[in-house]
Amino acid sequence: MSRISSRSTFGRLEAGPHTGLCRQSLTDSDREVRDWFLQQAESLGCQIKVDEMGNLFAILPGEDNSLPPIGMGSHLDSQPAGGRFDGILGVIAALQVLKTIKENGIKTLPPLAAIDWTNEEGSRFPKMCAGSGVWAGTEGLSECHDLAAIDASPDEAAPPTMGSELRRINYIGSTPCSYLQNPLSAHFELHIEQGSRLERAQKKIGVVGGIQGMRWYTVHCQGTEAHAGATPMDQRADALVVLAKFAVKVEELSLQEGAFGTVGVMRTKTNSTNTVPGGAFCTLDLRHQIEGVLDRIETELRAYLSQLTTSRSGITVLMGRTWSKRSVEFDQIARDCVQSAAVNIVGESMVMDMVSYAGHDSAETATVVPTAMIFVPSKDGVSHNPAEYTSEEHCDLGAQILLEAVLKYDHHLRRTTTASL
Amino acid sequence: MSRISSRSTFGRLEAGPHTGLCRQSLTDSDREVRDWFLQQAESLGCQIKVDEMGNLFAILPGEDNSLPPIGMGSHLDSQPAGGRFDGILGVIAALQVLKTIKENGIKTLPPLAAIDWTNEEGSRFPKMCAGSGVWAGTEGLSECHDLAAIDASPDEAAPPTMGSELRRINYIGSTPCSYLQNPLSAHFELHIEQGSRLERAQKKIGVVGGIQGMRWYTVHCQGTEAHAGATPMDQRADALVVLAKFAVKVEELSLQEGAFGTVGVMRTKTNSTNTVPGGAFCTLDLRHQIEGVLDRIETELRAYLSQLTTSRSGITVLMGRTWSKRSVEFDQIARDCVQSAAVNIVGESMVMDMVSYAGHDSAETATVVPTAMIFVPSKDGVSHNPAEYTSEEHCDLGAQILLEAVLKYDHHLRRTTTASL
């Protein structure tokens, strides 16, 4: 097995805590890192493709360059007050894999591609995973090009859009942004966990089985305003009590089902200390890896609200789903490649099966090509914060496993390509 | 027993529903009704006293005019969109009692006084029961005189105050506003219920044992903001869930104790759908006739919050009492006079013992002289609303009971005055 030649690179990431990064998508700072990425890729002899969304593909030739590359992608953009690991680790590791492959004279069957996906963060242009989303066909190219920057001044005649900013920094390419015209054989992504499950369990590597589904709801409750000092408790139509019980039930069911349930916003509409609230509002954020569990919780919550409104006269509740993202289950073969690479390198006791709580470019690629992810620990679970930190050891192990997983997938392709001959 | 000569008067009150009244304290419209009140009193041969707060005393002489009068008071001011019964009924009934006493040639031992207390509503000048409060010594005279009208324009150099408005309408008197220098033997008040307990129970008269105590609180909960999709349910410091449980507990304890507990305002501080709320706020309005019950509920709620914060790490809660008004228990002898008058006139089955949920001038007078109240039904419990309505029959019965209660109290004074000779 080839050792990844990464230590010096990841050592630069590890400059100490509280040294964050502000590199929002398609800014001058993003252009600079893109220039650096392409320079690295060219020095490895890679072929470069820039697509219509500014996604960068650094392609190292394989034995059969008619086959779609095995991709290793993540993103180089950050949150406005972000860290130096979220996304960036995956792209640097991909370059390191290419370098190691090249230095060791290894030839994979298909080419390999290190990929920088555009605007994963969605912070400057409010659409997460825009680049990988258009590539996978889940987002529209022109809608994304027309998306205005949220930091645009409201009186600007022509506020910057993704399209105008891609042109401005000269990163709008001619390669079609589509998995059909610019395909991959698979997509592997190394990423920091952005949580503390690995750290708490004292594990080194997470094998990510998928990305949990998310559903957002708003709940409006209408009762009747009444005098707080004269309306008997059993004759009230108190909208707040109903939503308070709802929030308690959300916690109870989420604990029971191992889901995430959050009432993030709650407010009464009347706002008088001595008036029984006639109206109340809350939001709900519900997440779980299994759509069936989300369905069950949603059904139970609706039944609970219905039971509350039946037992209290004069109350109506409207619970509406405002947004959802289906859960993603990663490809079994790609996961097996990651799993067996991880066990080989850190030993079974250091490996944890997990789902990703956050969204990633891999959620998009998984809809069209075999995809898998590798997680490494985040110190204290901190992310989207300058204090974000992953040790050099863990970055190094992650890159090593990325390399080996890709080689295992190459092996799988060789077997199946041969078998189909 | 003398029949009250009131039917024609209360018939004028009963002009039909939805014909409200706007007669805020010390406006021109208040001056007009004060003029009318004094004219009525003078036509009955009453002595008039106007005190420094504009409280009006119409005094019908008795046998021994060195004794303090038995007062019958309420208020002629209304809410900005008020009804024609709240307060007004009690003052008109007091005048009718004087008229009946005079017409029937009855002589009470002490004088009798019909009283109009200034600014009971507290809507124009934000201090409820200001006139009776200063008289009873629970409010300061100069503070009340300096109180600005809430409808004053903010750029007015000298906004109208209670003092300036009393001068303007020429109702600032020379009689000291004090129960010590202008004493009463007792205070009886006829008032509409402003609730629907009598109506629901199909009773005609409420014998009011006292006025419930009120306590207001604010509750601030501080937890930690966290990612809604990545923070396990059992590792959260969710401020909203704590206050939601609190609101549910308030309802539960209030039902259990027969109290009124209302969380009228609730809001999260972060207001992001996908963030675990790090801060939340709510108010609490708690009412019961017995201070010990209020103490017990408050203690249980504090213990519950403490238990919640102990079982969840990273949560702090501050529950502070922002205002309170102790419960009032009316004088036993004065109550007995009302009770026996009511039973005589409508029969025991039509009489209900009750506490007042709202504040009244009698809450002030009760702190310094024997006080009792009579309630008559309010249609649908509506009050502080143009739809406020009490039937002529009930107004008439209330006035009749006020008359008989006062005569019984006179009888009591005769007995005790004779006994002490």
C-alpha–C-alpha distance, residues A358 and A214, integer Å: 10
Distance from CA of B382 to the nearest CA of A (A): 10
pLDDT tens, residue by residue, A15-32: 444 568 889 999 999 999
Element of type H or E holding A420 = helix A392-420
Q: Which of A409, A310, A360, A395 is nearest to A131 (CA)?
A: A360
Q: Which of B226, B246, B233, B214 is nearest to B318 (CA)?
A: B246
Q: Which of B319, B241, B216 is nearest to A266 (CA)?
A: B241
Rounded to the nearest 10 degrees, how much is the dihedral formed by the CA atoms of A125, A126, A129, A131?
-40
Q: What are the helix (H) ranges across B130-186?
A: 130-136, 141-146, 162-168
At position A341, the amino acid (one-letter code) is A
- Using an 8 Å CB-CB cutoff, list chain A residues near B232: 260
User: With contact defined as beta carbons under 8 Å apart, do B89 and B395 qualify?
Assistant: yes
Q: Do A255 and B233 touch (CB under 8 A)?
A: yes
Token duo for residue B149? 């009208």
Helices A239-257, B239-257: inter-axial angle, 10-degree rounding: 120
Q: Do B229 and A358 touch (CB under 8 A)?
A: yes
Nearest CA in chain A to B359: A229
Write down how long chain A is: 421
Token duo for residue A20? 């964050």
Secondary structure (DSSP) of B275-341: EE-SEEEEEEEEEES-HHHHHHHHHHHHHHHHHHHHHSTT-EEEEEEEEEE--EE--HHHHHHHHHH
The pLDDT score that the predictor gives to residue A166 is 98
C-alpha–C-alpha distance, residues B46 and B59, integer Å: 5
The pLDDT score that the predictor gives to residue A15 is 44
Q: Do B212 and A229 touch (CB under 8 A)?
A: yes
Distance from CA of B365 to the nearest CA of A (A): 21
Rounded to the nearest 10 degrees, how much is the dihedral formed by the CA atoms of B72, B78, B118, B162?
180
Share of chain A above pLDDT 90, in %: 78
- Coil vs helix vs strand at A170: coil
- Report domain B7-211+327-420's class: alpha beta
Helices A88-103, A28-43: inter-axial angle, 10-degree rounding: 10
Question: Would you write out chain B's pLDDT as a tens digit for each of its 421 residues?
Answer: 467 654 445 544 544 445 688 999 999 999 999 999 999 999 999 999 999 999 999 999 999 999 999 999 999 999 888 889 999 999 999 999 999 999 999 999 999 999 999 999 988 998 889 999 999 999 999 999 999 988 777 667 788 999 999 999 999 999 999 999 999 999 999 999 998 999 999 999 999 999 999 999 999 999 998 888 888 899 899 999 999 999 999 999 999 999 999 999 999 997 788 889 999 999 999 999 999 999 999 999 999 999 999 999 899 999 999 888 899 999 999 999 999 999 999 999 999 999 998 889 999 999 999 999 999 999 988 888 888 899 999 999 999 999 999 999 999 999 997 655 4
CATH topology of domain B213-325: Alpha-Beta Plaits (3.30.70)
Residue of B231, B233, B240 lying closest to A263 (CB–CB): B240
- Using an 8 Å CB-CB cutoff, list chain B residues near A244: 243-245, 247-248, 263, 266
Residue of A216, A230, A284 lying closest to B358 (CB–CB): A230
Q: Check the CA dihedral B199-B201-B202-B206 and report its sign.
A: negative
- Using an 8 Å CB-CB cutoff, list chain A residues near B273: 216, 262, 264-265, 283-285
User: With contact defined as beta carbons under 8 Å apart, do B190 and B399 qualify?
Assistant: yes
Q: Do B233 and A254 touch (CB under 8 A)?
A: yes
Query: Looking at chain A, which residues constitute the CATH 3.30.70.360 domain(s)?
Result: 213-325
pLDDT confidence band for A417 (50 / 70 / 90): confident
Rounded to the nearest 10 degrees, how much is the dihedral formed by the CA atoms of A80, A82, A85, A89?
-10
Distance from CA of B234 to the nearest CA of A (A): 7
Indicate if the pLDDT at residue A285 is higher than 70. yes
The residue of A238, A266, A315, A322 whose CB has the most chain B CBs within 10 angstroms, and thus the best one to mutate to test that interface, is A266
- A234 torsion bin: left (phi>0), alpha (psi -120 to 50), beta (else): alpha
Distance from CA of A80 to the nearest CA of B (A): 17
pLDDT tens, residue by residue, A302-330: 999 999 999 998 999 999 998 888 999 99
C-alpha–C-alpha distance, residues B341 and B373, integer Å: 12
Q: Do B248 and A241 touch (CB under 8 A)?
A: yes
Q: Do A358 and B230 touch (CB under 8 A)?
A: yes
pLDDT (mean) for A215-228: 92
Q: Do A264 and B262 touch (CB under 8 A)?
A: no
Q: Do A266 and B262 touch (CB under 8 A)?
A: no
The pLDDT score that the predictor gives to residue B154 is 64
Which position has the higher pLDDT, A196 or B402? B402
The residue of B224, B235, B260, B286 whose CB has the most chain A CBs within 10 angstroms, and thus the best one to mutate to test that interface, is B260
The pLDDT score that the predictor gives to residue A7 is 46
Q: Which of A5, A190, A184 is nearest to A106 (CA)?
A: A5
pLDDT tens, residue by residue, B30-61: 999 999 999 999 999 999 999 999 999 999 99
Which position has the higher pLDDT, A279 or A419? A279
The pLDDT score that the predictor gives to residue B11 is 46
Indicate if the pLDDT at residue A200 is higher than 60. yes
Residue B87 DSSP one-character state:
T
Residue A74 DSSP one-character state:
E
Query: Looking at chain B, which residues constitute the CATH 3.40.630.10 domain(s)?
Result: 7-211+327-420
Token duo for residue A49? 């493709």
Q: Do A285 and B194 touch (CB under 8 A)?
A: no
| CA atoms within 13 A of residue B359's CA, in its CB half-sphere | 21
pLDDT tens, residue by residue, A40-50: 999 999 999 99
User: With contact defined as beta carbons under 8 Å apart, do B405 and B338 qualify?
Assistant: yes
The residue of A208, A260, A293, A315 whose CB has the most chain B CBs within 10 angstroms, and thus the best one to mutate to test that interface, is A260
Distance from CA of A392 to the nearest CA of B (A): 24
Distance from CA of B181 to the nearest CA of A (A): 34
Token duo for residue B298? 């408050």
Nearest CA in chain B to A254: B233
- Using an 8 Å CB-CB cutoff, list chain A residues near B276: 262, 264
The pLDDT score that the predictor gives to residue A274 is 83
At position A358, the amino acid (one-letter code) is A
The pLDDT score that the predictor gives to residue B16 is 43
Q: Do A240 and B255 touch (CB under 8 A)?
A: no
Q: What is the ipTM of this complex?
A: 0.74
CA A33 to chain centre: 21
Average pLDDT over chain A, rounded to an integer: 92
Nearest CA in chain A to B230: A357
User: How far lies B45's CA from each of B32, B76, B172, B186, in Å?
Assistant: 20, 21, 22, 22
Burial of A420 (0-12, 13-18, 19+ CB in 10 A): exposed
